[in-house]
Chain A
């Protein structure tokens, strides 16, 4: 009986030890949809690219890992192209909040949006 318990304890320790190792990033279908968009630029491929970026954010939040670099910024840029300046700014701010390396560039973009008529 004691041995059984010991085995169970060991097994539990072993498996939880493995389970805590999270991936560094979850890129979902990033390069596939990016490639599809470069191969054929259409409304459909662009929509797929955008929804992939959104999926990356959702999946990363689910397992509590950092959103990969540039994903928020790319989404912000898509909103900027769709003339939604305030949404664009909010994504650029998110990029800044997790990557201090991006602050300089994101501030430049935010200023650009704000000074546009």
Chain B
């Protein structure tokens, strides 16, 4: 009987650990967030790796709100991005690997948030048109310049309307449909969905009711790069 139990338990453990998705607590994954306890985040202009030139400005309008709702003081992006421009920082790439203490000196920011638009594209001339929005987000300390938190949010949206059958006429209808859907798509809607994939993994900040009480909340672990 005991042996049988043991086998069952072993099998169960094997099954669970064999799963692709590993869940860890926020504290295990991002201990430095709980050590440093940043209160304010400076949102840097997005780093745009996509082929869409306008993605940078558009995506930037979606970042402040979720970060604020997560309990952090967010500096007013419209104002801070303008000042960064005046100071010669057009692209966040330029400062990504540099000491970040100057952002504490200038703005009083405890940490900065880098976002990288990995993908923001549509494929027009295929029947099944997909839109992928993929964002890498990273919080870095202005004290140590070390990474405190990092996560990716990706959404893939099928814009084809999905009415597959109907022969040639159906195919043409589909293509027209796709073109219309793609043109009408408000990309920021999908950007907000992508943000939604990572925002919940950020340990909450001082204006959130669960501040310093969310250490044990489980999140899905992402592969380290």
Contacts and interface: CB of A to CB of B under 8 A. Distances in A.
User: Are A and B physically bound partners?
Assistant: yes
Interface of A: 24-25, 27, 30-31, 34-35, 38-39, 66, 68-71, 73-74, 77, 99, 101-105, 108
B188 A102 contact: no
Contact of A70 (B77, B82, B108, B186): B77
Contacts of A68: 65, 68
Given A38-B58, A101-B40, A70 B64 contact: yes
Given A31-B62, A74-B76, 16 more contacts: A25-B68, A31-B61, A31-B64, A31-B188, A34-B78, A35-B62, A35-B186, A38-B58, A38-B61, A66-B207, A69-B68, A70-B64, A73-B79, A77-B76, A77-B78, A102-B75
A38 B63 CA distance: 14
B65 A27 contact: yes
The 5 closest A-B pairs by CB, nearest first: A104-B108, A70-B76, A101-B73, A101-B40, A34-B61
B74 interface: yes
Interface residues of B, number: 29
B79 A77 contact: yes
A70 B57 contact: no
B42 to A, nearest CB: 9
A40 B136 CA distance: 27
A23 to B, nearest CB: 9
17 contacts: A24-B208, A25-B68, A27-B65, A31-B65, A38-B57, A68-B65, A70-B77, A73-B75, A74-B79, A77-B78, A101-B73, A101-B110, A102-B73, A102-B75, A104-B107, A105-B75, A108-B106
Contact of B108 (A30, A38, A69, A102): A102
A39 to B, nearest CB: 7
A29 to B, nearest CB: 11
B108 A101 contact: yes
B179 interface: no
B211 to A, nearest CB: 12
Nearest to A38: B57
Nearest to B82: A77
A30 B65 contact: yes
Contacts of A73: 75-76, 79
A20 to B, nearest CB: 13
Interface in B201-219: 207-208
B188 A69 contact: no
B69 interface: yes
A66 B186 CA distance: 30
B117 interface: no
Nearest to A74: B76
Nearest to B110: A101
A105 B108 contact: yes
Contact of A105 (B65, B77, B78, B107): B107
B83 to A, nearest CB: 9
Nearest to B73: A101
Contacts of A74: 76, 78-79
A108 B75 CA distance: 14
B98 to A, nearest CB: 20
